[in-house]
């Protein structure tokens, strides 16, 4: 089933999608001094902030997300009264910044705002379904993969796949806890492995079936996900490899077909050597240009919103090719030509959970194919509950004629 991406929107440190793209081409650095948090306390001095009026906005991430969702729904001409639309949001930190601030000062906000459903429904009241996934760095790609499935299986007419994150003091503390000297920016795949920073950003795109829109941006060929099940934070090579190969298999393409790879590249000693060596293995001498997002850490979710390879593929050639090959064998960022060596082992601990790989390939414009909207139903498959258990601490429960034991548990 051919799927299209029919709209995209970005909010990043470079403002919007156009300017973010231009900044990537120019090699601009979006980092600035850390705001709203005492840099000395968290041992992090810089971040990739979305420009604002200087004051910290409560529930800002929801506003960025709502802006993006509103934009893409307008671009794609989606009508919730006609189309069955879902929004799947990937986020690492939700609105936990509000939770942090509430621990220190009186603030008024509703608990429902923590998971963005309210923000999305504010700009699109008729939306059928909003689901928030909180899978750390890979959350937005989980959202994109599930969006593909929902549309491909005709459960939805269109799905808005979105990613959003702000910064939290607790996550900044985690970064600061593991670096000796806070870097002023992120240098992905650099031999020094100076560490990650956080960024603010939101992005959204619309996934529909082929023919539902007369000016699609791109074609979605395949997505793949895997779970290492090895360590809560450290990457495992096999998991990444599984995702890469599965994506190629599902897309029916080979590494030689790839014009551009958008990598995770956190700048950490655990992620970058692992990711770089795997890219070397999987892409081999094909040597596709490799870039990382405009900001690293949690803000990297913004990458999901720049999928138009017709623009970025050819243009990226030669401009932003910080390839894995260069990292391991080429000149370092300071201009030297030192032999490759693994990154230092001191900066351990930054999560690098992303073991997914998404290929989005541009396609030629084609005429619209109207009338593809179908009567959407949820899957009718019966799901068996083959084991279960409950645990509710406290006094005995008596929910049904004394049928519950002193601790309500059932397992087999």
Partner 1 sequence: VHRALHLPPRAGRSQQPVDPRVAVVASSNLGNVGTVQSVVRALRQGGLKEVSALTVPNASSNVLASTVASWFRFGRLNLMVCWGGSQVSRLYFSAAYCCAPGAPTARLSSGPDDACAQEIYARRAARRPGERLRAGAAAAVLERADRSTDAPFLEVEDSSARFSQTVTAVPIAIGPEEHVPPADRLIDVGRVVGDLYGAQGVLQVALAASFCAAPDPAAGPIAVICGDAADGWRSLIVRARVGVAANPRLRWGRPYDRPAGAPRCHRDAAPWYRGGEHPNVGRVQTPCLPRGRKRDRLVSRAGFRTAASVARARGVP
Three-state DSSP class for 403? coil
Distance of alpha carbon 116 from alpha carbon 234, whole angstroms:
28
Distance of alpha carbon 333 from alpha carbon 73, whole angstroms:
41
82, 13 Cβ separation under 8 angstroms: no
318, 309 Cβ separation under 8 angstroms: no
Is residue 16 a contact point for partner 1 (CB under 8 A)?
Answer: no
* DSSP run (H or E) holding 11: strand 3-11
Among 142, 213, 219, 264, binds partner 1 (CB under 8 A): 142
At 153, give phi and psi (nearest 5°). Answer: -90, 10
Q: Where do we find the tokens 């094909």?
A: 286
Among 17, 30, 92, 313, binds partner 1 (CB under 8 A): 92
Is residue 55 a contact point for partner 1 (CB under 8 A)?
Answer: no
The window from 48-56, 72-80, 334-342, 389-397 that contacts partner 1 (CB under 8 A) reads: 389-397
Among 16, 228, 259, 332, binds partner 1 (CB under 8 A): 228
Among 111, 256, 329, 368, binds partner 1 (CB under 8 A): 111
Work out how close the CB of 337 gets to partner 1 at its nearest, in angstroms, rounded to a whole number.
36
Is residue 268 a contact point for partner 1 (CB under 8 A)?
Answer: no
Other Cβ atoms within 10 Å of 192 Cβ, number: 15
Distance of alpha carbon 139 from alpha carbon 145, whole angstroms:
10
Is residue 42 a contact point for partner 1 (CB under 8 A)?
Answer: yes
Considering only residues 155 to 194 of the shown chain, the ones binding partner 1 according to CB under 8 A are 155, 168-171, 173-174, 176-178
Three-state DSSP class for 30? coil
267, 296 Cβ separation under 8 angstroms: yes
Q: Where do we find the tokens 């194919």?
A: 369
Closer to partner 1 by CB, 152 or 192: give it: 152
Among 8, 27, 65, smallest CA distance to 304 is for 8
| Pairing assessment for the beta strands 261-263 and 290-292 based on DSSP bridges | parallel
Work out how close the CB of 182 gets to partner 1 at its nearest, in angstroms, rounded to a whole number.
11
Is residue 382 a contact point for partner 1 (CB under 8 A)?
Answer: yes
Among 15, 25, 250, 315, binds partner 1 (CB under 8 A): 250
By rule CB under 8 A, what count of residues binds partner 1?
A: 100
Distance of alpha carbon 367 from alpha carbon 212, whole angstroms:
10
Among 53, 54, 81, 399, binds partner 1 (CB under 8 A): 399
Among 117, 123, 203, 206, binds partner 1 (CB under 8 A): 117
Is residue 406 a contact point for partner 1 (CB under 8 A)?
Answer: yes
Is residue 58 a contact point for partner 1 (CB under 8 A)?
Answer: no
Work out how close the CB of 103 gets to partner 1 at its nearest, in angstroms, rounded to a whole number.
4
Distance of alpha carbon 145 from alpha carbon 190, whole angstroms:
30
The window from 22-30, 240-248, 285-293, 321-329 that contacts partner 1 (CB under 8 A) reads: 240-248
Among 256, 329, 368, 390, binds partner 1 (CB under 8 A): 390
């Amino acid at each position: 089933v051919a799927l299209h991406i029919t709209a995209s929107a970005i909010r990043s440190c470079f403002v919007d999608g156009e300017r973010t793209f231009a900044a990537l081409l120019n090699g601009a650095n979006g980092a600035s001094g850390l705001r709203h948090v005492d840099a000395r306390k968290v041992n992090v001095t810089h971040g990739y902030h979305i420009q604002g009026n200087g004051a910290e906005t409560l529930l800002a991430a929801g506003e960025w997300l709502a802006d993006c969702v509103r934009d893409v729904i307008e671009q794609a001409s989606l009508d919730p009264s006609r189309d069955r639309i879902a929004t799947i949001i990937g986020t690492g930190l939700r609105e936990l910044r509000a939770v942090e601030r509430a621990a220190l000062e009186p603030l008024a906000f509703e608990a429902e705002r923590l998971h963005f459903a309210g923000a999305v429904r504010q700009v699109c009241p008729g939306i059928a379904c909003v689901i928030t996934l909180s899978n750390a760095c890979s959350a937005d790609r989980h959202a994109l993969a599930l969006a593909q499935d929902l549309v491909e299986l005709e459960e939805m007419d269109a799905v808005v796949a979105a990613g959003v994150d702000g910064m939290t003091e607790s996550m900044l503390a985690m970064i600061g806890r593991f670096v000796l000297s806070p870097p002023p920016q992120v240098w992905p795949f650099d031999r020094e492995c100076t560490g990650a920073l956080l960024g603010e950003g939101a992005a959204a795109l619309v996934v529909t079936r082929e023919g539902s829109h007369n000016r699609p941006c791109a074609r979605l060929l395949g997505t793949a996900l895997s779970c290492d099940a090895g360590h809560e934070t450290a990457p495992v090579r096999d998991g990444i490899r599984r995702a890469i190969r599965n994506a190629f298999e599902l897309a029916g393409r080979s590494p030689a077909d790839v014009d551009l790879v958008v990598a995770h590249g956190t700048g950490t000693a655990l992620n970058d050597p692992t990711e770089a060596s795997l890219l070397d293995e999987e892409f081999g001498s094909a040597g596709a240009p490799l870039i990382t997002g405009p900001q690293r850490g949690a803000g990297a979710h913004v990458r999901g919103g720049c999928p138009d390879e017709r623009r970025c593929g050819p243009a990226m050639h030669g401009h932003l090719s910080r390839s894995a090959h260069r990292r391991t064998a080429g000149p370092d960022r300071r201009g030297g030509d030192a032999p490759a060596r693994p990154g230092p082992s001191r900066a351990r601990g930054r999560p690098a959970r992303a073991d997914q790989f998404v290929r989005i390939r541009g396609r030629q414009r084609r005429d619209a194919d109207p009338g593809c909207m179908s009567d959407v139903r949820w899957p009718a498959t019966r799901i068996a509950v083959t084991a279960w258990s409950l645990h509710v601490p406290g006094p005995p429960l008596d929910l049904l004629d004394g049928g519950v034991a002193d601790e309500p548990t059932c397992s087999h």
